[in-house]
Amino acid sequence: RRSVLLLAALAACVATCGAFAPASMLGLRTQHKTSSISKLSMSLPKVAYNGITVQGPSGPTLPENEDLSFLEVAPYWDQSHIKVNIAKQKDPFIGKIVSVQRAVGPKAPGEICNVVIDHQGKLPYWEGQSYGIIPPGIDPKKNKPYSVRLYSIASTRYGDDKTGKTTTFCVRRAQYVDPETKKVDPSKKGVCSNYLCDSKPGDEVKIVGPSGKVLLMPEQDPTVTYIMCATGTGVAPFRGFLRRLFGEGNPANKNFKGLAWLFLGVANKDSLLYDEEFQTYLQAYPDRLRLDYALSREGPLNKNGGKMYIQDKMEEYADEIFDRLDKGGHIYFCGLKGMMPGIQDMLEKVCKAKGLSFETYLEKLKSKGQWHVEVY
């Protein structure tokens, strides 16, 4: 775990390496940064860039003395109350875009947006669930309306504005860049992601759901360990987890005595999503939250001298991860499905070193409901 550094040593560290290390590696809370558009060293993003972090209701928040409970059930952890498929594809709910903000810095590969949608409180959901979006238009390959695209919800049930009427998505704009011309081919762009990233406040959007029960939080045990493993926008549901545990004055926040441990793999520090928010939580709850980032394009390198991927960062703490799982901890995975082979290979290697059968160990976690995977 991160040790507390003396002020003088910390200042020296910031002076020498602050330009290269992410805030989490320095143990610092990110300060809000603003950049003049004219100073950006790359072409203008499609969504105006105004700092590396999202702002307004979607920015960092702490519970202070608030009592947020109007969407809770009794007891608050009783998952039998969860609803699914309130709105269906044949009869979607018409929501409205509240805001779209670029959520990554200028040096991040690609564009990711924080998209807030008003559902009027008519599509209640729990943390870890998803909504489906139906983009407008006709699919030219099928000559039928486009099908539903699922997005993990990145907010708590109360929404970023805490009204219980909004939801938040973390959306990567899907584009195809021709390897020869180095230009974006508009004919191969992601239909729904571009639709959401290009949307404006007030635009209508067709929503179905909510759906999913794979990534729910076992809140009946306030001492549980949540080990969350994500790549890129796969951090979305875990942002909802952390906001519920540390950013709101809800019953889960008031009763939580366990540990939330996030492993996040991205390309570089400009690609870190919601880092200022997470650092705010870390500062307020240093004994309840841990953050470990793997920056594949900026380092540090893994123990073999190669790029640091999420499985490499997890391997550094393999013994503690296994110990916490043996004591009832839950482990979650969300992101591109390509993340799983490397992680499972690493876990299998650790099992072998411990004299365990990986297949047997994995089956034990699944049978106890401790293994949660939602990849795409």
Q: Which residues are catalytic?
A: 151-152, 334, 374, 376
Distance CA 316, CA 292 (A): 10
How many angstroms separate the Cα of 77 from the Cα of each of 119, 330, 346, 347? 23, 16, 33, 30
Nearest to 374 by CA among 277, 240, 236, 195: 236
C-alpha distances (whole Å) from 26 to each of 16, 33, 184, 271 are: 11, 17, 36, 17
Extract the tokens encoding 321.
């991860």
Burial class (CB in 10 A: 0-12, 13-18, 19+), 67: exposed
- Please give the structure tokens belonging to residue 123: 């599509």
Structure tokens at 96: 């409205």
Would you give the DSSP letter of residue 5?
P
Is the distance from CB of 164 to CB of 70 less than 8 angstroms? yes
DSSP letter for 369, please. Answer: T
CA distance 102 to 52: 8
Distance of CA 273 to the CA centre of its chain: 7
